[in-house]
Amino acid sequence: MARRARPTPFGGLSSKNLPYVEVLRRVSLSNPSEEESWKKVFFPLKTWKHKGKVSAFLKDAFEALWEKGGMKAKFQEIMERMHGHKFKEVVVTGHSFGGGVASLVAYDIVASGFLKKDKVTLFTLGQTMVGDKAFAEDYEKQVTDSYRIVRKGDFVAHLPGVVFGYEYNGKEIYYYEPGMDSDGESGFRTCERKDIKKEKCSGGQVEPVGFKQNEEYFNENVESFGKNCK
């Protein structure tokens, strides 16, 4: 397993005039002190505004960015501006830790009544685990169109693990070819939460996995790709 990790996430809302927010968080696993910092990202699990418990770090990031950082207010402003329009749909997206924050945002949009569940879609890349089983079960009732894209060999998508009280949320789109090669019809499969640990999904991998694979998705370095998003 790789000994060094530098997952740098970003998250955002896709809709006209909605800002992207870059969440920078670099963690090195090359020494014990940094490993302690890594643990603080996931522990302890904390109760949040909706059901279940979630990562303390992701909860704090959600509150700082979405609730106190102006994103929620901007979102409400745009929804009010679009009032009366027949079509309203929001796509929420994020990478790595940013994917975890994006999951909380999508959940809050539906659970708080901003939009109906059929108008909210989540796509994440190499997303970390977010919360416990109670969170995951209610999340899937709220965000019914939720897709975690995971490439072969990406270890970050399995942090910190079910053994530590976490649970996967949403459907997994698993790209099982090393370079994410796909013709749009093959090269990937959809896995329900209950099947993620099975052989044909990402949790059943026996090949070496690491952190490096979290940096690149669809032949793009996600850290570089998201730097100019505002």
**Architecture of the domain made up of 10-80+87-225:** 3-Layer(aba) Sandwich (3.40)
State mean pLDDT over 22-30: 36
The model's confidence at residue 181, banded by pLDDT at 50, 70 and 90, is confident
Residue 212 half-sphere exposure toward CB, CA atoms < 13 A: 7
Amino acid at 156: V
Residues 223 and 17: their CA atoms lie apart, in Å, by 22
Phi/psi of residue 131, each to 5°? -155, -165
pTM for this entry: 0.82
State mean pLDDT over 181-201: 86
Amino acid at 90: V
Judged on CB neighbours under 10 Å (0-12, 13-18, 19+), 67 is middle
Q: Is the predicted pLDDT of residue 66 greater than 70, yes or no?
A: yes
Greatest mean pLDDT among 15-19, 130-134, 209-213: 130-134
Whats the size of the chain, residue-wise?
Answer: 230
Task: Quote the pLDDT of residue 152.
Answer: 92
State mean pLDDT over 149-160: 91
Judged on CB neighbours under 10 Å (0-12, 13-18, 19+), 223 is buried
State mean pLDDT over 137-159: 94
- Percentage of the chain beyond pLDDT 90 is 49
Task: Quote the pLDDT of residue 214.
Answer: 84
Q: Is the predicted pLDDT of residue 3 greater than 60, yes or no?
A: no
State mean pLDDT over 31-45: 70
Q: Where are the chain's structural domains?
A: 10-80+87-225
Task: Quote the pLDDT of residue 23.
Answer: 33
Task: Quote the pLDDT of residue 58.
Answer: 94
More confident residue, 24 or 95: 95
The most distant pair of C-alpha atoms in the chain lies apart, rounded to whole Å, by 55
State mean pLDDT over 22-27: 35
The model's confidence at residue 206, banded by pLDDT at 50, 70 and 90, is low
189 sits in which H/E element: strand 188-191
Judged on CB neighbours under 10 Å (0-12, 13-18, 19+), 131 is buried
**Contact (CB, 8 A) for 135 and 167:** yes
